[in-house]
A and B are shown apart, each in its own frame.
Chain A
Amino acid sequence: MSVPDAVAAVMFAAVILYSVFGGADFGSGVWDLTAGNARKGAPTRRLIDHAIGPVWEANHVWLIFVLVFLWTGFPSAFSAIMRTLAIPFWLAGLGIVARGAAFAFRKYSPTLRWAQVTGVIFASASLVTPFFLGTIAGGIASGRVPATGTGDKQEAWLNPTSLLAGVLATATCTYLAGVLLTADAERLGYHDLVAELRRKSLIGGAITGAVVLAGIPILLTDSPTLADGLLGRALPLAAGSGLAGVITMVELYRGRPRRARIVAALAVALVVAGWGAAQYPWVLVDQLTVSEAAGANAALVGLLVASGLAAVLVLPPLIYLLTLADSNRVGTATVDG
């Protein structure tokens, strides 16, 4: 594996982790939106706060990693993407700010009214942000970002592949979060909530599956290079993801959400990995390959060293935090002990 390939692989690993962790985070916001009025939705909202409160900031640092890797490892691709896909980036940025700030403000709301206002901002931003991020992925994957100059700024993200990717991103995030929240509710013994979330998650899973099936003809016509890859090199990954998705539904249906959540996360990871494998060796599909786009070698080696460092320094405490959050040692609706 060449150095640029290794950097691309690490960067893509961060994309996958962001899809899983950031995705569950965004999706939780969607469940907040659909939880119902203040009285009916209170248990769900409390559960969501409990689930993502301690981890949401960490969940989003993956995005920073991806950006930094992109501009350091592949500077010309980065600036091409930023020039052409600026609009969805601005919109996603707006969503990220609105969502994070509103979530933090809601946590210490003095009144119900205040909690409702910040809650609605948090939840609706959670719904739209993954959509915009998905359109960015779609624009790159369908070959609409030219290597030099600026592409069509509208068409680059308002095209069949982008719209499909946007809807799919939102649906997947929601579905994943639904499974995780069901598992959480079960662990905490909120039995009413388990039944409700399980039912809604099954519906969500069916919708996600339908979007995937509807997407196949779109990809075949609109993104031939990507479709080729998905039916070729990436086929095992794509098939594995589909299988994991089905297993998730089955486990959920049989009332085993804690098992379902692992398979659900795997399904998301595999589908994103499939996108990466299908797109390789292109950074910008049909325009610029990994080796053509690569920046200075010393910088790439530096990135690899830095990611080794991150693996040693960051992953153990991150796992510790996630297990603490999972074992109720941290993160109730209130912070006080």
Chain B
Amino acid sequence: MVGVANLLNTTATTAPDALLPARTQMAISLGWHIIVACFGMAWPAMIFVLHRKGLNGDDVALELAKRWSKVAAVLFAIGAVSGTILSFELGLLWPGLMDAYGDVVGLAFALEGISFFTEAIFLGIYVYGWGRLPARWHSLMLLPIMAAGVVGSFMVISVNAWMNAPTGFDLVMNDAGQMVPTNIDPLAAIFNSAVWLQFAHMYLAAVMVVGFSVAAVYAMGLLKGRRDRVHQLGLLVSLAFVAVATPIQPVVGHFAGQRLADEQPIKLAAMEGLAETTDAARLEVGGYWNGEELVGAIEIPVDGLLSFLSTNDFDATVIGLDAVDPDERPPVAVVHTAYTIMIGIGSALVGLIAWAGWLWRRNRDALFTSKPFLWALVASGPAAVLAMETGWVTTEVGRQPWIVHGLMRTTDAVTDASYIWITLTVLVVVYAGMTAGAIAVIRSMSKRWREGETDLASPYGPSLDERSGHRSEVKAVVSAVDRPGIQP
């Protein structure tokens, strides 16, 4: 395999100049996009639950569905533009990857495109349809959004999984003496051996990110003494979703690890910090990698536990980093630390759900009144985001030095452009602005809702009584005349 890879492209001995800024830029733009993408994947289902509840006569639920859908519209907008940048970046930062394998993974991206289209269309219909479409029909517009979110994210994840487990082609030498992919089978590439576990793991992660983040917002409100039904319902619905997802997540993660033992053992060795190939290996938890070995880790005194976790066999051999040359190992310290954080947070969140279940059984109101529990929920939102980000760092950095596992090195895929530091700087500034803007807009929306406003009309121009007020505080005039559709 490795020999083949060296034939495929001239392997650079020194890293190209653009490598560092290009990976940093890819990591930042993906790491940013994935947070809003989670809302695209998981939030519509939660809104749907509220909307249906609202149709059965629960006005608070209906109001909440309406508010959430407006926040979702803002998040989807920035998700769409940051996603567009990602598709530019695949070509602008990694032309070598797209040149060699663009047609292998392209079908997944095409199907993803169709899904995004569906999502964008029905989102337009749903968000702008309040009060304009027949009520029952209107809520059903969420179903295609949900379906498109699932299919679209499956397809993107499939491309990433393919980079971990490349299949669906043969490498054949062409006339110029290069190895090129031939006999391409796009469906085999989509349904590669890593896709189902990666997708399940990511989908659950999306539910957790959204559920815990939303719960954190309402927990904060409850802590500030806003004990109304809006806050209780917001908390309950989001908590219900994570109560299902959180306990399943470690199970799926465990099987993802077993796949690694089989197909990407070096990544697993980096995650566990296993320097040498070992029979009946013990599990070490935590600690940090000092460049040669794991220090400060807690060793679980059960012989063969790591072997058992990786392969279901206590005596099995677990491959260590020494199995390959140093230039084929990922940066172990990053991978191990990221992995440890993910596992730590995943376990803690399972504990949090158990706590919630216990409170619920004892006295339902305790969910809304227990201060320690509410504070833990406030922390759970950022924690879930961190777990998801460190999960991606584990997968992506753990795959290094390969961009396509075993076949193409990242150094061979990267652009030769000389100015990526500039694009990176601009991206950081623009994304920071976008983050600040989104936070400011959403906070002001929730403030106006608390003040009893429902319309959230944008002030396109100063209102007529401007002279009496502060210029910057003038509210829009939205009279009947201004409403399109009503003839003046």
Residues of A within 8 A of B (CB): 38-43, 45-47, 49-50, 53-55, 57-58, 60-61, 63-65, 67-69, 71-73, 75-76, 78-79, 81-83, 86, 89-90, 93-94, 96-115, 118, 150, 188-190, 295-300, 302-303, 306-307, 309-310, 313-314, 317-318, 320-321, 324-325, 328-337
Q: B113 touching A111 by the CB < 8 A rule?
A: no
4 other A-B residue contacts (CB within 8 Å) besides A46-B460, A90-B423: A41-B460, A49-B460, A58-B124, A115-B458
B128, B184, B488: the one within 8 Å of A299 (CB)? B184
Name the residue on B nearest A300 (C-beta).
B103
What CA separation (Å) do A337 and B81 show in the bound complex? 28
Closest CB of chain B to A334's CB: distance in Å?
5
What CA separation (Å) do A213 and B184 show in the bound complex? 47
Q: A67 touching B87 by the CB < 8 A rule?
A: yes
Assess A330 versus B85: contact at CB under 8 Å? Given A86-B417, A101-B434, A310-B117. no
Q: Is B84 engaged at the interface, CB distance under 8 Å to the other chain?
A: yes
Lowest 8 A-B CB distances belong to which pairs?
Answer: A337-B131, A72-B106, A42-B461, A295-B103, A75-B102, A104-B77, A82-B91, A100-B81
Q: B74 touching A189 by the CB < 8 A rule?
A: no
Q: Is B118 engaged at the interface, CB distance under 8 Å to the other chain?
A: yes
Residues of B within 8 A of A (CB): 66, 70, 73-74, 76-78, 80-85, 87-88, 90-92, 95-96, 98-107, 109-114, 116-118, 120-125, 127-133, 144, 169, 181-182, 184-187, 415-417, 423, 426, 430, 434, 437-438, 440-441, 444-445, 447-448, 454-462, 471-474, 478, 482-485, 487-488
Q: B85 touching A93 by the CB < 8 A rule?
A: yes
Closest CB of chain A to B420's CB: distance in Å?
10
What CA separation (Å) do A96 and B484 show in the bound complex? 27
Please give, as numbers and ranges, the residues of chain A lying within 8 Å of B122 by CB-CB distance. Answer: 317
Please give, as numbers and ranges, the residues of chain A lying within 8 Å of B104 by CB-CB distance. Answer: 296, 299
What CA separation (Å) do A109 and B445 show in the bound complex? 9
Please give, as numbers and ranges, the residues of chain A lying within 8 Å of B82 by CB-CB distance. Answer: 97
Closest CB of chain B to A315's CB: distance in Å?
10
Q: A296 touching B103 by the CB < 8 A rule?
A: yes
What CA separation (Å) do A190 and B486 show in the bound complex? 10
Q: B102 touching A78 by the CB < 8 A rule?
A: yes
B70, B125, B462: the one within 8 Å of A320 (CB)? B125
Q: B132 touching A82 by the CB < 8 A rule?
A: no
Most central of B120, B417, B445, B473 by chain A CB within 10 Å: B120
Q: B125 touching A321 by the CB < 8 A rule?
A: yes
Closest CB of chain B to A8's CB: distance in Å?
14
The contact sample of 15 A-B pairs, CB cut-off 8 A, is A54-B125, A60-B84, A72-B105, A75-B101, A79-B96, A82-B95, A108-B70, A110-B441, A115-B459, A188-B484, A302-B110, A314-B114, A321-B121, A331-B128, A333-B460
Q: B455 touching A334 by the CB < 8 A rule?
A: yes
B77, B111, B121: the one within 8 Å of A101 (CB)? B77
Closest CB of chain A to B148's CB: distance in Å?
9
Q: A64 touching B98 by the CB < 8 A rule?
A: no
What CA separation (Å) do A115 and B105 show in the bound complex? 41
Q: A108 touching B462 by the CB < 8 A rule?
A: no
Q: A57 touching B80 by the CB < 8 A rule?
A: yes
Please give, as numbers and ranges, the residues of chain B lying within 8 Å of A90 by CB-CB distance. Answer: 88, 92, 423
Q: B445 touching A108 by the CB < 8 A rule?
A: yes
Please give, as numbers and ranges, the residues of chain A lying within 8 Å of B485 by CB-CB distance. Answer: 188, 328, 332
B91, B120, B434, B483: the one within 8 Å of A71 (CB)? B91
Q: A336 touching B120 by the CB < 8 A rule?
A: no
Q: A335 touching B103 by the CB < 8 A rule?
A: no
Please give, as numbers and ranges, the residues of chain A lying within 8 Å of B471 by CB-CB distance. Answer: 112-113
What CA separation (Å) do A330 and B456 show in the bound complex? 16
